[in-house]
Structure 1
Amino acid sequence: MDQLALVTMAVLLCSSPLADGGKVLVFPLDGSHWINMKVIIEELHSRGHEITVLRPSDSWYIKADSPHYKSITMNSSGGFDEEEFSSFLNTMITMEKQGVSIWTRLSSEYEMLTQMYMWHRQLIQALEEMFEDTELMQSLHEAKYDLVLTDPAIGGGVLLGHRLGLPLVFNVRWTVQGEGHQAIAPSPLSYVPIPQKQLTDKMTFNQRVMNLLYYIYALFQTWYAVDPNYKPFVHRHFGSDVHYMELFQSADIWLMRNDFTFEFPRPTMPNVVYMAGFQCKPSKPLSKELEDFVQSSGEHGVIIMTLGTLVGQLPEDIAEDIAAAFAQLPQKVIWRHTGKRPSSLGNNTLLLDWLPQTDLLAHPKTRVFVAHGGTNGIQEAIYHGVPLLGLPLMFDQHDNFFRMEARGVAKVLDIATVNRDNFLEALKEVLHQPSYREKMKTLSSLHRDQPMKPLDRAMFWIEFVMRHKGASHLRTESYKMSTIQYYSVDVLAFLLAVVLLVFTALISALKCLWRRSFSRSKAKEE
């Protein structure tokens, strides 16, 4: 019995967590971003950590009650509303369908910029109320959290973390100013394309010119939608000499939701940790009804279609065309669609309010994934090796699918011009050209071939920050420099001044010598 007790104790000691349970304050972004943040929260909870989630009162996806975390509900708006979002989507699609004229493009960009401005404004207003709530802020201070985990696509968690004086860990693809790398790592415009502009790392001269112009436009977007909201707030609460992006750049660890099977090669930093596909898990068996439907497809297989967590339905005319195209195929189709049932729907198509995306993508009979281009869905398709047909709608989705198209694993259609014929033709191309599946299998193999699972890597670095109260040794000090210092403009100006001074002194000396020599020669002649 003594020997058995010793063995049992050894097993328990070996299986216990390496770090004591910590306290994590989470400031998430609602919608699809919450889906992947929730994966991290659940894993942290399973490792014995105590999680507290700050959520707005009108939260769309972030529930107040959960077995994995405690929540603090703020009396504020999160800026995400299902009806408002659907209206915004329909407006954008309508603009696109009107044509690709300069006026339509400008109108579309203005609509997007205005919406971005309003989202940031709502967040800053909510944060102002939070900072003024002395009872809430005192309770957050007294809770003695170990770190703040946040998505920097909104700035609330960043600003709150600094106000509380806590280490910061980012679950990041985007910051308030754009793609995450752009905020922290060197990004030479000669081979690092500006995101969402459909350029690769191999640019011609004309494309490099366009990349520079896109960069200038990105600066304008920041000036219009972001600066007016964050600058005054940061100056009020952190000092007039602090720029809000310094607070982002001083984060300890950036858990980046991509890797170099998705991203083009580019410079990075020591505190950037890549965890693409961390949300991908082994599949579970399908329900009997769904499995029977999938098996009924025979040798033809199944097509999966879903437009993500934010979009359950398309405009009726587009849905009718897609349904009619599906009806002409021998494959079975499983389509997440919450709108009106299309009249052109074929007997081969099953409509569902929700579908088990991961389990279906892992099924050997799945042939094609029709998707909108969200990062989560694309990474799950890569993980399971399923080729893609893209219907990007907004935000980063066009850029995500462009990267997949550049790698030969996706066919992309414009949602504004999609119809029964071109949708059917694109589906047949992805179904019947072996290169799509072969290249996706190669990409999947590259993605999976790593020494540590992405989620385990994320957990290690979060717990690392807890153990060491930060990770300042991995953080570059460049964020404290001005633009003039960062690009050594002051050093170059100084060296240039020295060269000019020496050159001027040399010229003056030569002139003086020449004058003396000339004077002596003249004196001798006289």
Structure 2
Amino acid sequence: MEFLSMIEEAHVLACDTLARMFDDRKLMKSLQDAQYDMMLTDPAMGGGLLMAHYLKLPVVLNARWITSGEGHFAIAPSPLSYIPVPGSGFTDKMTFVQRVQNMLHYSIIVYQQRFMVGPSYDAICAKYFEGGCDIISLIQEADIWLMRSDFVFDFPRPTMPNVIYMGGFQCKPAQPLPPDLEEFVQSAGEHGVIVMSLGTLVNALPVDITDQIASVFAKLPQKVIWRHRGKRPSTLGNNTLLVDWMPQKDLLGHPQTRAFVAHGGTNGVQEAIYHGTPVLGIPLFFDQYDNLLRLQERGAAKILELAMFNGPSFQQALNQVLTHAPYRENMQRLSRLHRDQPIKPMDKALFWLEFVMRHKGASHLRTSANRMPWYSYHSVDVLLLLLAAGGGVLLSTGLLIRILWRTCRKNRNKTKQH
């Protein structure tokens, strides 16, 4: 609940900022006079959507998440029987108990949107838009979704024609390393190097954990490049280089790189796929476990949860990723699949951005399903009618048979009397 409360507070702050913008008449007039062609926004926060609605602009979403949960659940059929809710920790092959838990996870997202996130946006809609509006409806009415995912990474699922997949759009061929870093990498010889980074949000793990990590690294024949901004571990070995920043994409694409120790952020996972580098994942929060789970299911990564972390478990997991060939082979296969596209993800995204500007939107790609009442969408009214009609036919047939049987019985009795 603490995490949900943090999200709620973030949306409250976003709506406060948006309200101040709407109240600034000079600012709003300048935005209207600018006559923009399109709004490109991330729907994880709804401010861009409301601004686009105010300015009457076509909308393109740079998306994976919306105000509550993952974007597909707002626009595409999402059967909970085989589509895991983010945060559930499930794959697309769920047991009965897992399907029950998956449904409960989904109910939490619905509750979060309706009672924790939605009210802040409802207040903005009621105050600044005649007739009101609804943030989820605005999300569903977006012209194009540029989804930061693809089906090399994600589990197969239903989608919509206005969803364009651009997973790995930021990935590029590796560039030469700075001379000092290249010298360190080459000094590893045939053993190669290990790259470790926990992203930009976490500078360092607790000291006892970093000491255990450094101790394990010190025992390896490989060299290690570790993005670490905390206290220098007391067990650090001569084979480990601590850096404040690293050219991660270029290191992952270097032929000397043997493994990537990572937290499982979307960008890092997609860069590992692009360059074919196997991953040892240490998920910390949010979607990271689910991201790593998708790689683990494909045999390209191994997950080591922080709750189960210790020196021996880290050493065992790392040795497994380094020495078991299938990890690298499976990740190299994912890399080949990802790269085998007729259009690069970034070029695809640019085409659709220009498409929306040329045609003032892409309403022909939007489904009308989002405007249907739930009972029509699920054909509950049709099923009830058919059941009623079927029941009526059965009842009528039963009554007819009963009448005929009684008539025949009366005639038989009259015949016997004569």
Give per-residue Cα distances to partners, 1:453-503, cap 9 Å, x unaligned.
110000001100011000111110111112122112223333344445555
Secondary structure at the counterpart of residue 221 of structure 1 = helix
Amino acid corresponding to residue 443 of structure 1 in structure 2 = L
Residue in 2 that maps onto 1:344: 235
Q: Distance in 1 between matches of 2:125 and 2:285?
A: 30
Within the candidate set 383, 390, 393, 1:492 is matched to 383
Find out whether 1:221 has 2:79 as its counterpart: no
Q: Distance in 2 between matches of 1:512 and 1:238?
A: 64
Q: Do the aligned residues in 1 keep the contact of 2:91 with 2:293 (CA within 8 Å)?
A: no
Secondary structure at the counterpart of residue 269 of structure 1 = coil
Residue in 1 that maps onto 2:58: 167
Within the candidate set 289, 293, 301, 2:180 is matched to 289
Within the candidate set 3, 19, 36, 1:128 is matched to 19
Residue in 1 that maps onto 2:49: 158
Residue in 2 that maps onto 1:111: 2
Q: Do the aligned residues in 2 keep the contact of 1:374 with 1:396 (CA within 8 Å)?
A: yes
Q: Distance in 1 between matches of 2:45 and 2:170?
A: 21
Residue in 2 that maps onto 1:61: none
Secondary structure at the counterpart of residue 318 of structure 1 = helix
Q: Do the aligned residues in 2 keep the contact of 1:231 with 1:243 (CA within 8 Å)?
A: yes
Secondary structure at the counterpart of residue 119 of structure 1 = helix
Q: Distance in 2 between matches of 1:498 and 1:130?
A: 56
Residue in 2 that maps onto 1:461: 352
Q: CA deviation at 1:338?
A: 1.1
Q: Distance in 2 between matches of 1:386 and 1:437?
A: 6
Residue in 2 that maps onto 1:94: none
**CA, structure 1 residues 470+349, in 2 after alignment: closer, same or farther (shift >3 Å)?**
same
Amino acid corresponding to residue 162 of structure 2 in structure 1 = N
Q: CA deviation at 1:310?
A: 1.5
Bigger Cα displacement from structure 2, 118-127 vs 229-238: 229-238
Bigger Cα displacement from structure 2, 237-246 vs 479-488: 237-246
Q: Distance in 1 between matches of 2:142 and 2:223?
A: 47
> Structure 2 matches for 1:172-183, cutoff 5 A?
172-183=63-74
Give structure 2 stretches of 5+ with no counterpart: none
Q: Distance in 1 between matches of 2:127 and 2:403?
A: 59
> Structure 2 matches for 1:24-35, cutoff 5 A?
none
**CA, structure 1 residues 129+515, in 2 after alignment: closer, same or farther (shift >3 Å)?**
farther
Residue in 1 that maps onto 2:84: 193
Bigger Cα displacement from structure 2, 420-429 vs 261-270: 420-429
Secondary structure at the counterpart of residue 174 of structure 1 = coil
Give per-residue Cα distances to partners, 1:360-399, cap 9 Å, x unaligned.
1111101111111011000000000100011111110010
Q: Distance in 2 between matches of 1:486 and 1:137?
A: 38
Q: Distance in 2 between matches of 1:521 and 1:432?
A: 90
Give per-residue Cα distances to partners, 1:329-357, cap 9 Å, x unaligned.
11111111111111111111111111000
Q: CA deviation at 1:219?
A: 2.3
Q: Distance in 2 between matches of 1:239 and 1:440?
A: 52
Q: Distance in 2 between matches of 1:165 and 1:494?
A: 41
Find out whether 1:417 has 2:312 as its counterpart: no
Q: CA deviation at 1:509?
A: 6.7
Bigger Cα displacement from structure 2, 399-408 vs 222-231: 222-231
Within the candidate set 317, 330, 334, 1:426 is matched to 317
Q: CA deviation at 1:176?
A: 1.2
Amino acid corresponding to residue 453 of structure 1 in structure 2 = K
Residue in 2 that maps onto 1:270: 161
Residue correspondences, number: 417
Q: CA deviation at 1:516?
A: 8.2
Q: Distance in 2 between matches of 1:398 and 1:374?
A: 9
Bigger Cα displacement from structure 2, 238-247 vs 130-139: 238-247
Q: Distance in 1 between matches of 2:325 and 2:412?
A: 91
Q: Distance in 2 between matches of 1:136 and 1:185?
A: 36
Q: CA deviation at 1:128?
A: 1.6
Give per-residue Cα distances to partners, 1:158-213, cap 9 Å, x unaligned.
11111111011011111112111111111112222222222222233333333223
Q: Do the aligned residues in 1 keep the contact of 2:168 with 2:345 (CA within 8 Å)?
A: yes
Q: Distance in 1 between matches of 2:408 and 2:315?
A: 91
Secondary structure at the counterpart of residue 340 of structure 1 = coil
Amino acid corresponding to residue 121 of structure 2 in structure 1 = Y
Alignment RMSD, CA only? Answer: 2.3
Q: Distance in 1 between matches of 2:168 and 2:94?
A: 28
Residue in 2 that maps onto 1:22: none
Secondary structure at the counterpart of residue 32 of structure 2 = helix
Q: Do the aligned residues in 2 keep the contact of 1:117 with 1:224 (CA within 8 Å)?
A: no
Residue in 2 that maps onto 1:397: 288
Within the candidate set 234, 239, 252, 2:125 is matched to 234
Residue in 2 that maps onto 1:29: none
Q: CA deviation at 1:315?
A: 1.8
Secondary structure at the counterpart of residue 36 of structure 2 = coil
> Structure 2 matches for 1:13-52, cutoff 5 A?
none
Residue in 1 that maps onto 2:39: 148
Q: Do the aligned residues in 2 keep the contact of 1:374 with 1:397 (CA within 8 Å)?
A: yes
Within the candidate set 431, 449, 468, 2:340 is matched to 449
Amino acid corresponding to residue 422 of structure 1 in structure 2 = S
Amino acid corresponding to residue 308 of structure 1 in structure 2 = G
Bigger Cα displacement from structure 2, 294-303 vs 228-237: 228-237
Within the candidate set 209, 219, 242, 2:100 is matched to 209
Q: CA deviation at 1:321?
A: 1.4
Find out whether 1:329 has 2:329 as its counterpart: no
Residue in 1 that maps onto 2:365: 474
Q: Which has the higher contact order (CA 8 A, sep 6+)?
A: 2
Find out whether 1:309 has 2:200 as its counterpart: yes
Secondary structure at the counterpart of residue 171 of structure 1 = strand
TM-score by length of 2: 0.93
Identity of aligned residues (%): 57
Amino acid corresponding to residue 335 of structure 1 in structure 2 = W
Residue in 2 that maps onto 1:43: none
Bigger Cα displacement from structure 2, 393-402 vs 424-433: 424-433
Q: Distance in 2 between matches of 1:510 and 1:241?
A: 58
